[in-house]
């Protein structure tokens, strides 16, 4: 009669030990887990957070402030938290060699960051150590770089806990004008003209000419704005990634980003990330051509013919990006 009781006790002890092992691996610190999974040296995440607070450089203090401002904005302006799904992770590029997760945002130097990551992950081949040697179109080929959505749930969670997560953001309306200039005023972007230009003209231009409906290559900025704020646009399909809001691409209130780089300090912030990864001696982030950049003054000229009512609608659409990343409302807007 005692054997069943003893068997139950042994079974209970085994089960308890198993649960303790699971509990241990769930609470193990990201730094320790990262260290056990890397061959040698400190991970970028350890390098970032293991610095004595009294020894922080001005650059480290600035990035600490950006993280704090983002966390405070998330607490203030987002009410509901939800569970991440694979669709949310399609913009997070994984570098398993160096423990990096990069959320790419179109029109915020993402081509050059993809080039850099192709070098770091070995996808560029041994002959390419200079990111600029990689053709721009090659950097955007699906499959050249893995995204976090391609991993299993356990692998996703492990990387979110232990890898350095970073993104680069930009003043929302400068990014939007940059997207418009690139996709609707360049003659070579015929795919965008056909895909979006013809739709915008058909919907928002009174009595369009047949050739405009056919080619879609002369969309005005005002027509582009009308298209963005039209409620039926997002009911039909999600925004294209080139003008989708950063908070919808990268989910900064669901994913804790360790470095929030800004386009306005691109070279400095990019060098900081590469230094944290320990590869600053191996690869250099490409300098951009400042003469072609969309600036605040340039954005102001595009907005001068947009009515205050539509300016207000557009600002409401991109408001969260302004708030989360600490960008002021542009002085050139008339609705204020």
SS (H, E, C) the chain: CHHHHHHHHHHHHHHHHHHHHHHHHHHCCHHHHHHHHCCCCCCHHHHHHCCCHHHCCHHHHHHHHHHHHHHHHHHHHCCCCCCCCHHHHCCEEEECCCCEEEECCCCCCHHHHHHHHHHHHCCCCCCCCCHHHCCHHHHCCCCCCCEHHHCCHHHHHHHHHHCEEEEEECCHHHHHHHHHHHHHCCCCCHHHHHHHHHHHHHHHCCCCCHHHHHHCCCCCHHHHHHHHHCHHHHHHCCCCCCCCCHHHHHCCCCCCCCEEEEHHHHHHHHHHHHHHCCCCCCCCCCCCCHHHCCCHHHHHHHHCCCCHHHHHHHHHHHHHHHHHCCCCCCCCCCCC
User: Per residue in 218-235, pLDDT tens?
Assistant: 999 999 999 999 999 999
Distances (CA, A) of 209 to 217, 264, 317: 12, 40, 30
Q: What is this structure's pTM? A: 0.86
> Would you state the pLDDT for residue 9?
52
Q: Which two tokens stand for residue 275?
A: 């230094």
Q: What is the mean pLDDT of residues 68-91?
A: 92
Query: pLDDT band for position 126 (50/70/90)?
Result: low
> Would you state the pLDDT for residue 7?
52
pLDDT of 12 higher than 70:
no
> Would you state the pLDDT for residue 8?
54
Q: What is the mean pLDDT of residues 18-30?
A: 35
Query: Where do the domains of the chain lie?
Result: 44-171+249-292, 174-242+295-325
How many residues does this entry show for the chain? 336
Query: pLDDT band for position 128 (50/70/90)?
Result: low
Long-range Cβ pairs for the range 133-137 (8 Å, 24+): 136/111
């Amino acid at each position: 009669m005692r054997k069943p009781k003893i068997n139950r006790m042994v079974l209970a002890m085994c089960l308890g030990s198993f649960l303790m092992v699971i509990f241990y691996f769930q609470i193990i610190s990201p730094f320790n887990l990262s260290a056990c999974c890397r061959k040698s040296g400190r991970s970028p995440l350890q390098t970032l957070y293991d610095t004595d607070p009294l020894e922080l450089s001005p650059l480290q203090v600035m990035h600490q402030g950006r993280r704090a401002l983002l966390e405070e904005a998330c607490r203030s302006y987002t009410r509901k938290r939800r569970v991440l799904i694979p669709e949310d992770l399609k913009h997070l590029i994984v570098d398993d060699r160096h423990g990096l997760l990069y959320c790419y945002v179109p029109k915020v130097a993402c081509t050059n960051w993809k080039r850099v990551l192709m070098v770091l992950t070995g996808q560029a081949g041994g002959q390419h150590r200079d990111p600029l040697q990689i053709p721009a179109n090659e950097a955007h080929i699906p499959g050249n770089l893995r995204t976090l959505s391609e991993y299993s749930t356990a692998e996703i969670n492990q990387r979110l806990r232990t890898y350095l997560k970073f993104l680069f953001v930009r003043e929302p309306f400068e990014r939007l004008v940059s997207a418009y200039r690139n996709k609707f005023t360049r003659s070579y972007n015929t795919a965008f003209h056909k895909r979006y230009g013809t739709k915008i003209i058909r919907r928002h231009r009174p009595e369009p000419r047949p050739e405009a409906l056919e080619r879609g290559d002369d969309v005005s900025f005002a027509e582009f704005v009308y298209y963005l704020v039209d409620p039926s646009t997002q009911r039909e399909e999600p925004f294209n990634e080139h003008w989708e809001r950063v908070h919808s691409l990268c989910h900064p209130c669901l994913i804790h980003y360790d470095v929030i780089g800004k386009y306005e300090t691109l070279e400095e912030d990019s060098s900081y990330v590469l230094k944290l990864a320990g590869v600053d001696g191996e690869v250099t982030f490409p300098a951009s051509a400042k003469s072609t950049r969309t600036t605040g003054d340039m954005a102001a000229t595009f907005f001068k013919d947009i009515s205050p009512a539509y300016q207000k609608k557009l600002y409401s659409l991109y408001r969260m990006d302004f708030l989360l990343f600490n960008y002021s409302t542009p002085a050139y807007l008339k609705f204020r």
